[in-house]
Amino acid sequence: MIAINSVAVLGAGTMGAQIALHCAHAGIPSLLLDLTAEQAKQGLEKARKLKPDPQFTPDAYTLVTTGGFDTHIDLIAGCDWILEAIVERLDIKQQLLARVDDKRKPGSIVSSNTSGIPIAALAEGRSDDFRRHWLGTHFFNPPRYLRLLEIIPTAETDPAVVAAITHLGDHVLGKGVVVAKDTPNFIGNHIALYGVARTLEALATVKYTIEEVDAITGPALGRPGSATFRTMDIAGIDVLAHVMRNLNERLPNQADRAAFAVPPLIDEMLKRGWLGEKTGKGFYQRRKNAANESEIWTLDPATMEYRPKQSVRIPSIEAGRAIDDLPERVRMLFNAKDKAGEFLRTTLAPTLIYTARVTPEIAHSIDDVDRVMRWGFGWDLGPFELFDVLGVREVVAAAQAVGGHAMAAGIPPMVQSMLEGGLTRFREGLVPPAAPDLQILRRSKEAGRVIKKNAGASLVDLGDGVICVEFHSKMNAIGGDTVQMLNAGVKEAAKSAQALVVGNDAPNFSAGANLMLVLLEAQEGNWDEIDMMIRAFQQATMALRYSPVPVVVAPAGLTLGGGAEIALHADRVQAAAETYLGLVEVGVGLIPGGGGTKEMTARAMARLPTPQSDPLPYVQQAFETVALAKVSASGPDALRLGYLAPTDSFTMNRERLIADAKAKALERVREGYHPPAPRTAIPVGGESVTAALKLGVHLAWRAGRASDHDALIGRKLAHIFGGGNLPHATTVTEQYLLDLEREAFMSLLGERKTLERIQHTLKTGKPLRN
């Protein structure tokens, strides 16, 4: 396979700079060039300030070197991959690519990040070697967070080049890779913009408000919270218009071109300079009220004036909140006899019909289309999955009732053949994994390899002597069922397997302990029951640490509180790059009670260069991490915060996480794993460390940075980090620190303000400062 160990990104705009940073995350040195070295430097600095943060760690940018086209373009001769990401104009891109052809080394891969210009046209006039190593690589914005990478080869592209970029995108950059055909705007933007065009048509009927459309097309439909109009504001109204115009001008069919005509509303917004978030005005506007508080106002298309945001009251949307099963909820909404149902039948049905018609022209399979919309636009169900959920006949009937462009050419051939064959679905189940070694936990369950299951977790045989503990409670909150299955996993792996993995395919590994259960027990005064719960969880995490077989924990997404404590007690952690790990218990008025405080104390003391070194700087850093409830911005950032160890590893592609964790577990078996010896002599700093930490808490309280309850929690934490009531530095056992943890946890749970914090978090999802 062609080796890619260095990359040059040409163009330091929003996309180019972020792509360079994302390559840096993967350890690939990146050369970022623009018109001048100063512009490239400014582009990188601007990218580093973007929100959400495009960097895994604050120092990720150090692997990016900047320069100018006139002064540094010779450097591309040392790069294995050269990616063009300049302004979307064919002539300007061709001029730059001519210079690239002259400077590149033979065999280097060259690609364009264009979102719509024909890939073949960009390479016209280039050398034979250039054209054989040329293709489109369309990243989605922001490239760190949106997984999709569309690869667009031409008829002349060497298959080895496609294989190399596919492997790099998947294994190294963590992308969901789809090979698309060289058609206008490829797959994702073509389908998405058709739906947007139908949505704007519906808005023009004045039947729906902007808020109503976003309520229908957001999480209720299994799509991001930014829904439709907020997403347009983020992307830019000018970008939306550019893509629509490109489709309007370049599609081969006149009727299809007309379906992408830029509507008058968008034209008017462009004339007024209302381009969305970048100009402060779009479909929404953020403004200050009389109390200088931020408010969201909404555009009224009829008057072209902004008004206060309105609440949405649609019966089916309200009813849908009680339906957790997404297919069931989507069916209910589509068939509803209210605004939501009418809107979806008017817009979604034609979009699905159009998608079925153009798929053979733009994609290699229906699976690729579903993956594109999932990975690039955050849809939980792709177009053909939606067909199956709603019913093919039902979608056709709804589209026929609407009429218009989608049905002008009749029922799409692939749909017609299904109807004639008496078929009701495109496939059984959801879109399959894109490769045999992706989503191996899902494949194991589909193969019937569930060993044991309760309401909170399951044991699944991953094959090759590796068992997985999978959480599946709401938000994967940890309760008695979870603890029971963790213990069962250790016992089963020790009896009949070689290793244990703890992980799941959910967006979030675990949001922490089941706070509702803790709150109810505290309100009832069931202190013995709570004590037993804490002891049971401590024993479960310690069982993971001292398991007879290696335990690899595979966190991803939110890994908070008890979830983080499980990771802290693994033999090894194989974390997804997008892991947000933190001990956040102080936010609900508690301290980490499942071994987290103990483990952070022990790790801090283990970092001392010599036994005679002053422990305070090391302990203070760990103390502040817990006391301030710091959450990592990524997997690598968790290493910086001390939640992960240098022996832990990261997976860029979330769908490879369990496979990588399994491989890590088997690697530990081959290395001759033995359980670690119990830690019976953990150094602690004693009274001097405790006093210094408590002084810091007091000073924060005096400065108004900590409330009375914050200070109480801080003192409890300091007591543990110093080693309890010990007059001087000494050593203690793990159980001693666990007992201190449990005592502090129980004590704080008896505080009224802690219960208020828990209640507030359960109600709002946000912490309370009281």
Predicted confidence at residue 454, as pLDDT, reads: 97
Statement: residue 445 has pLDDT above 90: yes
| Percent of the chain residues past pLDDT 70, beyond the cut | 100
Statement: residue 285 has pLDDT above 90: yes
Buried b / exposed e along 655-690 (16+ C-beta atoms within 10 A): bbbbbbbbbbbbebbeeebeeeeebeebbbbbebbb
pTM beyond 0.75: yes
Statement: residue 149 has pLDDT above 90: yes
Long-range CB pairs of 323-326 (<8 Å, 24+ gap) are: 324/474, 326/222, 326/380, 326/381
| Residue 339 CB coordination number (10 Å) | 21
289 band by pLDDT with thresholds 50, 70 and 90: confident
Cross-sheet strand order for the sheet of 572-576: 450-453, 457-463, 466-471, 499-503, 551-554, 572-576, 649-651
Tokens read off for 63: 């692997």
How many Å apart are CA 139 and CA 17, to the nearest integer? 12
Nearest of 537, 543, 490 to residue 512 by alpha carbon:
537
684 band by pLDDT with thresholds 50, 70 and 90: very high
447 band by pLDDT with thresholds 50, 70 and 90: very high
Predicted confidence at residue 288, as pLDDT, reads: 85
> Helix or strand or coil: residue 573?
strand
Among 10-19, 261-270, 341-350, 421-430, the range scoring the smallest mean pLDDT is 421-430
Mean per-residue pLDDT, 161-165: 98
> Helix or strand or coil: residue 64?
strand
Report yes or no: 320 and 220 within 8 Å, Cβ to Cβ: yes
Report yes or no: 347 and 199 within 8 Å, Cβ to Cβ: yes
**Number of helices and strands in the chain (H, E):** 34, 22
Report yes or no: 582 and 525 within 8 Å, Cβ to Cβ: no
What type of residue sits at position 608?
Answer: L
3-state secondary structure 243-265: HHHHHHHHCCCHHHHHHCCCCHH
> Helix or strand or coil: residue 749?
helix
Predicted confidence at residue 291, as pLDDT, reads: 83
How many Å apart are CA 191 and CA 359, to the nearest integer? 9
Tokens read off for 36: 């001048």
Mean per-residue pLDDT, 425-444: 95
140 band by pLDDT with thresholds 50, 70 and 90: very high
Taking the mean position of all CA atoms in its chain, how far away is CA 323?
23
Report DSSP state, residue 421: T
* Residues ≥6 apart with Cβ < 8 Å to 518: 530, 533, 749, 758
How many Å apart are CA 83 and CA 99, to the nearest integer? 13
Strand blocks (E) in 431-555: 450-453, 457-463, 466-471, 499-503, 551-554
> Helix or strand or coil: residue 465?
coil
Where helices occur in 83-158 by DSSP H, the ranges are 90-103, 119-122, 128-132
Predicted confidence at residue 358, as pLDDT, reads: 97
- Cis bond upstream, residue 142 (ω within 30): yes
Predicted confidence at residue 92, as pLDDT, reads: 97
Mean per-residue pLDDT, 532-536: 97
Mean per-residue pLDDT, 376-387: 97
How many Å apart are CA 246 and CA 185, to the nearest integer? 8
Mean per-residue pLDDT, 158-185: 98
DSSP string, 647-714: T-EEESSGGGHHHHHHHHHHHHHHTT--PPPP---EEE--HHHHHHHHHHHHHHHHTTSS-HHHHHHH
DSSP string, 17-59: HHHHHHHHHTT--EEEEESSHHHHHHHHHHHHT-SS-S-SSTT
Predicted confidence at residue 292, as pLDDT, reads: 84
Report yes or no: 231 and 224 within 8 Å, Cβ to Cβ: yes
Predicted confidence at residue 108, as pLDDT, reads: 98
How many Å apart are CA 354 and CA 349, to the nearest integer? 9
294 band by pLDDT with thresholds 50, 70 and 90: confident
Report yes or no: 9 and 109 within 8 Å, Cβ to Cβ: no
- Residues forming a β-bridge with 732: 682
Residue pointed to by tokens 């000494």: 730
Mean pLDDT score of the chain:
96
Task: Tell how strand 499-503 and strand 466-471 pair up.
Answer: parallel
Report DSSP state, residue 570: S
Mean per-residue pLDDT, 378-397: 97
Reported as a single tens digit per residue, the pLDDT across 645-679 is 999 999 999 999 999 999 999 999 999 999 999 99
How many Å apart are CA 535 and CA 555, to the nearest integer? 23
| Percent of the chain residues past pLDDT 90, beyond the cut | 97
Statement: residue 709 has pLDDT above 90: yes
Reported as a single tens digit per residue, the pLDDT across 487-527 is 999 999 999 999 999 999 999 999 999 999 999 999 999 99
Taking the mean position of all CA atoms in its chain, how far away is CA 139?
15
Distance in angstroms between the alpha carbons of the first and the last residue of the chain: 59
Statement: residue 24 has pLDDT above 90: yes
Statement: residue 1 has pLDDT above 90: no
* Residues ≥6 apart with Cβ < 8 Å to 511: 475, 476, 477, 558, 560, 561, 563
Tokens read off for 669: 């078996």
Q: Is the dihedral of CA 524, 525, 527, 530 positive or negative?
A: positive
Which of the two residues, 578 and 287, has the higher pLDDT score? 578
What type of residue sits at position 550?
Answer: P
> Helix or strand or coil: residue 642?
coil
How many Å apart are CA 192 and CA 223, to the nearest integer? 12
Tokens read off for 497: 């397997």
How many Å apart are CA 651 and CA 661, to the nearest integer? 9
How many Å apart are CA 42 and CA 19, to the nearest integer? 15
Q: Is the dihedral of CA 399, 403, 404, 408 positive or negative?
A: positive
Report yes or no: 755 and 523 within 8 Å, Cβ to Cβ: yes
Buried b / exposed e along 616-647 (16+ C-beta atoms within 10 A): bebbbebbebbbebbbbbbbbbbbbbbbbeee
Helix (H) or strand (E) holding 495: helix 480-496
Report yes or no: 684 and 601 within 8 Å, Cβ to Cβ: yes
What type of residue sits at position 287?
Answer: R
- As a residue count, the chain comes to 770
Reported as a single tens digit per residue, the pLDDT across 616-650 is 999 999 999 999 999 999 999 999 999 999 999 99
Taking the mean position of all CA atoms in its chain, how far away is CA 711?
34
Statement: residue 293 has pLDDT above 90: no
